């Protein structure tokens, strides 16, 4: 099909004849990347036991995977610019499938960490390359659907991970936490291999190896510090200090190098062109809210109600299921309205859902009581993320798509890790504070305490040690109330963070105007040049 002559008619980008396999590949890639990085404490317990690792050593299992994703992000963009995203995604899918298949056979922790790191390198290529893949391979009329699918995987994979781990624990074994990725990765490879035409490399990025290395290593070191900070008590740990200082030094060196080199890897004019920085900050904030609530529900149900992994997963999977219906609706909103409206409505829903939990939560809540608010929050998070990413797309030039994908991956991982660290630390501190305040009103010998211990004494009178069992039971009640209060405070904190994201969104100017035939006029102008 030849382009029309004359400046009045913009040239159209080539369209894939069957875009649905490309959509499937994008969905599988982003889904896999998030699913594997969400190993919960339930899955880690069995994995640590299998490789004879303690709690402290086993804490590095998830860190090695996600730090590798952060490390490989700039290299994935650079290699994708040379050989094309399709080829690199196919290689990454095979690397991920092979490493996932052999990880359960690890005989010790060192082998497991190495294989987890390799898996992270493979899956780390998925997200930074898939956004550019959507924009180049799919017809423009389907971009909104592709980006809605891009956002769908986050909510879906986050909320089904606990359910899958619980089901494997009950019916199979922990090995399937890794083996589940093999058919998904092979399916992604097949969609790319036989369903998508080969595309020429998008552009030639200069081989700025120092810039690539300093960017990836710097962010990976800081990520590792954030991931281990809550366990090691943050700045009271020499290891955390070392990781943070080394990461900051590498990033400062990266900025100096990119500013002074004649052929930088990262174009700072494009990276910091308004409103890209605000969008990346808002994506980090939204990711913070997503992972914060994904942490809080198992924290409450496990700590207060004693739910097992499968029971927690049964709650979260009902939150994930409606995403399949929400996804096309979000895409329709992106096509018909200003995407900032979609994103803003989503943030409002997130804040309202969190405040509704904070207002109503009691120690008697079970999984059913969480469903209404979390369904509402699931809708809000899907709308907010798809709207924010689409605003970014509307402000891009085609040659900047890979760079934006790298920055999006960095913002996504950092926002999620900051969110997890923030909410875990907040919940721990608020629980300690609540427990201390409650304990100040429980003085031995007072009438109320004696009356309560007498009641508990009748309950445990047939036990082996009724004298010690009654105080222990009272202590457990205090812990349950403190955990409930910490969960309430944390949900209020997440709602406030969503409010900050809404304020930032209000500052962002409207995206460039759209014509009926296309979404991004700047793409047409650049292609015509």
CATH code for the domain in which residue 525 is found: 1.20.1250.20
CA distances from 75 to 78, 80, 97, 208, 347 (A): 5, 8, 20, 10, 33
Q: Name the E strands within 426-514.
A: none
Residue where a domain terminates, one of 175, 205, 235: 205
Q: Whose CA is closest to 406, among 211, 190, 118?
A: 211
Answer with the residue of higher pLDDT: 462 or 343: 343
How many alpha carbons fall within 13 Å on the CB side of residue 334? Answer: 35
- Residue linked to tokens 């105007």: 513
Q: Report pLDDT digits (tens) over 8-25.
A: 433 443 444 455 676 677
**Alpha carbons 316 and 163: distance in angstroms, whole number:** 7
pLDDT on residue 311: 60
Is the pLDDT at 330 greater than 50? The verdict is yes
- State the total domains in the chain: 3
Structural contact between residues 75 and 212, judged by C-beta atoms closer than 8 angstroms: yes
- 63 and 165: one domain? yes
Range of the domain at 503: 269-529
pLDDT band (50, 70, 90) for residue 521? very low
Sign of the CA dihedral with 321 first, then 305, 169, and 153 last: positive
pLDDT on residue 3: 39
Work out the mean pLDDT of the chain and round it to a whole number: 75
Answer with the residue of higher pLDDT: 256 or 83: 256
CA distances from 175 to 114, 389, 404 (A): 17, 35, 35
**Alpha carbons 157 and 149: distance in angstroms, whole number:** 12
Does 6 map to a domain?
A: no
pLDDT on residue 114: 92
Answer with the residue of higher pLDDT: 112 or 209: 112
- 307 and 346: one domain? yes
pLDDT band (50, 70, 90) for residue 1? very low
**Alpha carbons 424 and 430: distance in angstroms, whole number:** 10
What is the average per-residue pLDDT within 466-481? Answer: 62
- 182 and 112: one domain? yes
The one-character DSSP state at 264 is -
Does 3 map to a domain?
A: no
pLDDT on residue 162: 65
Residues in contact with 409: Cβ distance below 8 Å, sequence separation at least 6, in sequence order? 69, 70, 73, 124, 127, 128
pLDDT on residue 12: 40
**What does the block give as tokens for 172?**
């199979």
How many alpha carbons fall within 13 Å on the CB side of residue 307? Answer: 24
- 349 and 330: one domain? yes
**Alpha carbons 407 and 412: distance in angstroms, whole number:** 8
- 77 and 225: one domain? no
Is the pLDDT at 94 greater than 90? The verdict is yes
Residues in contact with 250: Cβ distance below 8 Å, sequence separation at least 6, in sequence order? 214, 217, 218, 221
What is the average per-residue pLDDT within 48-74? Answer: 83
What is the average per-residue pLDDT within 226-239? Answer: 81
CA distances from 253 to 48, 73, 249, 265, 406 (A): 37, 18, 6, 14, 19
**Alpha carbons 167 and 173: distance in angstroms, whole number:** 9
Does 218 map to a domain?
A: yes
Q: Report pLDDT digits (tens) over 401-456.
A: 667 777 777 787 777 778 777 888 888 888 888 878 876 666 555 555 555 555 55
Is the pLDDT at 180 greater than 80? The verdict is yes
What is the average per-residue pLDDT within 141-163? Answer: 70
Residue where a domain terminates, one of 163, 190, 205: 205
What is the average per-residue pLDDT within 81-110? Answer: 87
Q: Report pLDDT digits (tens) over 307-317.
A: 665 566 566 66
CB atoms within 10 A of CB 467: 10
pLDDT on residue 518: 39
pLDDT band (50, 70, 90) for residue 39? low
- 285 and 372: one domain? yes
- 210 and 192: one domain? no
- 196 and 300: one domain? no
The one-character DSSP state at 263 is S
Does 7 map to a domain?
A: no
Residue where a domain terminates, one of 245, 264, 283: 264
- 381 and 318: one domain? yes
pLDDT above 70 coverage of the chain, percent: 71
pLDDT band (50, 70, 90) for residue 54? confident
Q: Report pLDDT digits (tens) over 378-404.
A: 788 888 888 888 887 777 766 666 677
Is the pLDDT at 190 greater than 80? The verdict is yes
* Region of 84 on the Ramachandran plot (φ > 0 left; ψ -120 to 50 alpha; else beta): left
Does 158 map to a domain?
A: yes
Range in 177-186, 293-302, 506-515 the model is least confident about: 506-515
**Alpha carbons 20 and 23: distance in angstroms, whole number:** 5
For 186-191, which contacts have Cβ atoms below 8 Å and span 24 or more sequence positions?
186/93, 186/97, 187/24, 187/28, 188/24, 188/25, 188/28, 188/29, 188/32, 188/89, 188/93, 189/90, 189/93, 189/94, 189/97, 191/21, 191/22, 191/24, 191/25, 191/28
- Burial category of 440 from C-beta neighbours within 10 Å (exposed 0-12, middle 13-18, buried 19 and up): exposed
pLDDT on residue 510: 74
Does 226 map to a domain?
A: yes
- 195 and 238: one domain? no
pLDDT on residue 430: 87
Range in 38-42, 150-154, 355-359 the model is least confident about: 38-42
- 219 and 240: one domain? yes
Is the pLDDT at 529 greater than 50? The verdict is no
pLDDT on residue 476: 67
Alpha helices, DSSP H only, in 103-142?
109-123, 126-137
Is the pLDDT at 52 greater than 90? The verdict is no
Does 354 map to a domain?
A: yes
Does 8 map to a domain?
A: no
Range in 208-222, 311-325, 330-344 the model is least confident about: 311-325
pLDDT on residue 5: 40
- 303 and 361: one domain? yes
pLDDT above 90 coverage of the chain, percent: 6
Q: Is the peptide bond before 275 cis (omega within 30 degrees of 0)?
A: yes
């Amino acid at each position: 099909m030849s382009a029309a002559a004359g400046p009045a008619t913009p040239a159209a980008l080539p369209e894939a004849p069957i875009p649905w396999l490309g959509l499937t590949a994008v969905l599988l890639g982003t889904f896999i990347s998030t699913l594997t990085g969400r190993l919960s404490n339930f899955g880690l317990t069995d994995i640590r036991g299998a490789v004879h690792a303690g709690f402290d050593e086993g804490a590095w299992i998830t860190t090695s995977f996600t730090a590798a994703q952060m490390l490989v992000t700039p290299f994935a963009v650079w290699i994708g610019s040379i050989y094309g995203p399709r080829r690199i995604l196919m290689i990454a899918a095979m690397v991920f499938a092979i490493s996932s298949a052999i990880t359960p056979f690890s005989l010790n922790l060192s082998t497991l960490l190495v294989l987890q790191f390799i898996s992270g390198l493979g899956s780390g290529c998925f997200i930074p390359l898939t956004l550019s893949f959507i924009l180049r391979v799919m017809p423009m009329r389907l971009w909104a659907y592709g980006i809605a699918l891009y956002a769908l995987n986050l909510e879906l994979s986050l909320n089904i991970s606990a359910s899958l781990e619980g089901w494997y624990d009950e019916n199979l074994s922990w090995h399937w936490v890794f083996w589940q990725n093999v058919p998904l990765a092979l399916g992604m490879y097949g969609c790319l291999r036989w369903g998508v035409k080969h595309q020429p490399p998008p552009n030639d990025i200069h081989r700025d190896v120092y810039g690539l290395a300093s960017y990836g290593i710097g962010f990976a070191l800081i990520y590792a510090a954030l991931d281990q900070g809550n366990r090691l008590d943050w700045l009271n740990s020499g290891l955390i200090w070392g990781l943070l200082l080394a990461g900051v030094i590498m990033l400062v060196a990266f900025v100096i190098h990119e500013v002074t080199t004649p052929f930088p890897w990262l174009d700072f004019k494009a990276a910091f062109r308004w409103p890209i920085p605000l969008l990346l900050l808002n994506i980090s904030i939204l990711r913070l809210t997503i992972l914060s609530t994904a942490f809080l529900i198992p924290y409450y149900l496990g700590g207060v109600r004693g739910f097992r992994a499968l029971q927690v997963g049964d709650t979260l999977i009902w939150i994930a299921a409606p995403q399949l219906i929400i996804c096309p609706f979000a895409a329709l909103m992106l096509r018909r309205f200003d995407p900032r409206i979609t994103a803003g409505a989503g943030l409002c829903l997130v804040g309202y859902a969190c405040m509704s939990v904070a207002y109503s939560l009691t120690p008697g809540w079970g999984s059913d009581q969480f469903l209404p608010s979390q369904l509402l929050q699931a809708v809000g998070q899907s709308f907010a993320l798809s709207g924010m990413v689409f605003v970014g797309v509307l402000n891009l030039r085609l040659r900047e798509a890979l760079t934006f994908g790298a920055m999006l991956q960095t913002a996504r991982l950092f926002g999620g890790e900051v969110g997890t660290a923030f909410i875990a630390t907040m919940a721990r501190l608020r629980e300690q504070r609540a427990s201390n305040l409650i304990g100040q009103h429980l003085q031995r010998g007072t009438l109320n305490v004696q009356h309560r211990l007498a009641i508990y004494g009748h309950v445990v009178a047939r036990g082996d040690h009724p004298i010690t069992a009654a105080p222990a039971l009272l202590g457990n009640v205090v812990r349950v109330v403190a955990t409930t209060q910490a969960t309430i405070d944390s949900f209020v904190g997440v709602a406030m963070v969503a409010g900050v994201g809404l304020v930032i969104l209000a500052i962002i100017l409207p995206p460039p105007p759209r014509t009926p035939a296309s979404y991004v006029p700047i793409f047409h102008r650049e292609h015509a040049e």
